C-alpha cells in the first residue's frame, strides 16, 4: 500500500520528535511491505521566518493532496506579541479548518511500569484507558463576535460560544462509533445547568444516542468530570465534549499518566486527518535531544488506524512502545535521576521493536 504523508516538523522540539515518528513509519513500511511517500513542508514559526506566513499555500496544498498529515508542534515565544492571526499557532488553526478536521481524538492510557510517574496512586490509575473526543472547529475559540472594545475609560473583551446542531451531531457520531470498538460507553461533558450551548449539546447528543442502542450514554457537568478524572479515571471509556472543555480536560487527563510527552492526538473529519503529539513546542529544550518522542510515535499509529485503516500496523507500533517502556527505556521526563535515553535513541529502540514484533506476529518483514 502507498502511504502519502505530508510531514510538518514545525517548531521547537517538533523536528526532533517528528523524525522518530517517521522512523517508526519507515519500520512499519519495511516490516509490512508498504511504501511511504513523505512530503516535507514548513508550518508555524519556521514558516514565518522563511515565507512570512504561518501556513504558506505550498504547505496547505501538499496537505490537501496527501492522505494524512503528521505534525510536530507549533509555537515560538519570539512571536507572542504579534496579533493572533500572525502567530505560529494561527497556521495550525487554519490547517484544521481547511482540512475539515472537526473531531480531535486524544487517547489517555496508563502504561504498565510508569505508575511512579503519575501523581495518582497505582491502584487508582490501574486500568485507565480513555479516549477524549473533542469538537475542534466550533465553540468559544471560533465564535463571533470576539475582540477588545473600548468604551469610556474601560477596556472590555468579548468572546462568543456558539454551536449549531449539525456540528454536535457529526462529532457525537464519531464518539459513538469509537465506543462500539471499545467498551461501549460514552460520557458526554457539558455545562447544561448554566449554558444554552450546553443544553443544545446535551439534547443533540441524546438524539444521536438513539442510533446506537448498544452504547451506554451518561452526561456529566465539566466540573464533575474534572474531579472524576482524578478520583476514578478507570471508569471512563469515551469522553465526548466541546472545544474549550475538551482542551482543558485532555491536558488534565494527560497529567494522570505522568507526562504529556506520552500522549498522541488525531484530528479527523474529512478525507485528510491531522496527527500530532499533545505536547507543545517546548523551545527551552529544543535541540538538546531530551524530548520524549513517544507522543509523536503514537500519533503515527493513530494515523495508520484512522487514515489508512491499518489496524495491525497501528497495534504493532503501540505494542512496540509498550515493550520499550516495559524494558525500562525512559526519556528524561519519565525519570527522577540522571539516567535517561536521548530522543533519537528511544526512537531507534521503538523502531527495532517494531521490526521484531512484526516478525514474531508473522508480518512481511524483510
Residue numbers annotated as active site: 141, 191, 223, 247, 251
Strand partners, 258: none
Strand partners, 220: 189
SS3 string, the chain, reads CEEEEEEEEECCCHHHHHHHHHHHHHHHHHHHCCEEEEEECCCCHHHHHHHCCCCCHHHHHHHHCCCEEEEEECCCHHHCCCCHHHCHHHHHHHHHHHHCCCEEEEEEECCCCCHHHCCCCHHHHCCCEEEEEEECCCHHHCEEEEEEEEECCEEEEEEECCCCHHHHHHHHHHHHHHHHCCCCEEEEEECCCCCHHHHHHHHHHHHHHCCCCCCEEEEEEHHHHHHHHHHCHHHCCEEEECHHHHHHHHHHHHHHCCCHHHCEEEEECCCCEEEEECCCCCHHHCCCCCCCCHHHHHHHHHHHHHCCCCHHHHHHHHHHHHHHHHCCCCEHHHCCCCCCECHHHHHHHHHHHHHHHHHHCCCCCC
Cα–chain-centroid distance for residue 294? 12
Q: Which residues contact 138 (CB under 8 A, 6 or more apart)?
A: 102, 162, 163, 164, 167, 242, 243
**Distance between CA atoms of residues 57 and 40, nearest Å:** 14
Amino acid at each position: 500500500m502507498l502511504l502519502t504523508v505530508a510531514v510538518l516538523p514545525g517548531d521547537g522540539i517538533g523536528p526532533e520528535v517528528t523524525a522518530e515518528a517517521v522512523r517508526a513509519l519507515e519500520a512499519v513500511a519495511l516490516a509490512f511491505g508498504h511504501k511511504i511517500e513523505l512530503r516535507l513542508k514548513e508550518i508555524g514559526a519556521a514558516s514565518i521566518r522563511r515565507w512570512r506566513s504561518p501556513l504558506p499555500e505550498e504547505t496547505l496544498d501538499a496537505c490537501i493532496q496527501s492522505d494524512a498529515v503528521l505534525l510536530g508542534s507549533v509555537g515560538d515565544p519570539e512571536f507572542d506579541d504579534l496579533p493572533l492571526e500572525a502567530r505560529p499557532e494561527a497556521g495550525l488553526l487554519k490547517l484544521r479548518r481547511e482540512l475539515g478536521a472537526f473531531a480531535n481524538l486524544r487517547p489517555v492510557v496508563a502504561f504498565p511500569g510508569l505508575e511512579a510517574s503519575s501523581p495518582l496512586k497505582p491502584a487508582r490509575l490501574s486500568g485507565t484507558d480513555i479516549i477524549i473526543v473533542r469538537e475542534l472547529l466550533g465553540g468559544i475559540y471560533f465564535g463571533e463576535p470576539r475582540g477588545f472594545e473600548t468604551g469610556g475609560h474601560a477596556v472590555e473583551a468579548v468572546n462568543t460560544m456558539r454551536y449549531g446542531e449539525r456540528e454536535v451531531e457529526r462529532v457525537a457520531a464519531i464518539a459513538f462509533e469509537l465506543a462500539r470498538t471499545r467498551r461501549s460507553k460514552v460520557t458526554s461533558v457539558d455545562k447544561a445547568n448554566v449554558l444554552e450551548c450546553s443544553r443544545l449539546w446535551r439534547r443533540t447528543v441524546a438524539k444521536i444516542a438513539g442510533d446506537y442502542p448498544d452504547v451506554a450514554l451518561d452526561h456529566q457537568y465539566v466540573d464533575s468530570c474534572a474531579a472524576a478524572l482524578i478520583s476514578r479515571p478507570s471508569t471512563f471509556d469515551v469522553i465526548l465534549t466541546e472545544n474549550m472543555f475538551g482542551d482543558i480536560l485532555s491536558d488534565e487527563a494527560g497529567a494522570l499518566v505522568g507526562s504529556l510527552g506520552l500522549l498522541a492526538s488525531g484530528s479527523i473529519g474529512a478525507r485528510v486527518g491531522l496527527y500530532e503529539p499533545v505536547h507543545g513546542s517546548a523551545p527551552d529544550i529544543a535541540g538538546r535531544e531530551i524530548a520524549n518522542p513517544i507522543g509523536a510515535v503514537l500519533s503515527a499509529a493513530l494515523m495508520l488506524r484512522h487514515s489508512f485503516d491499518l489496524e495491525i500496523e497501528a497495534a504493532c507500533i503501540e505494542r512496540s512502545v509498550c515493550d520499550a517502556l516495559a524494558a525500562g527505556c525512559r526519556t528524561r521526563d519519565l525519570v527522577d535521576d540522571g539516567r535517561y535515553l536521548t530522543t533519537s535513541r528511544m526512537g531507534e529502540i521503538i523502531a527495532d521493536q517494531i521490526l521484531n514484533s512484526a516478525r514474531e506476529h508473522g508480518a512481511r518483514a524483510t
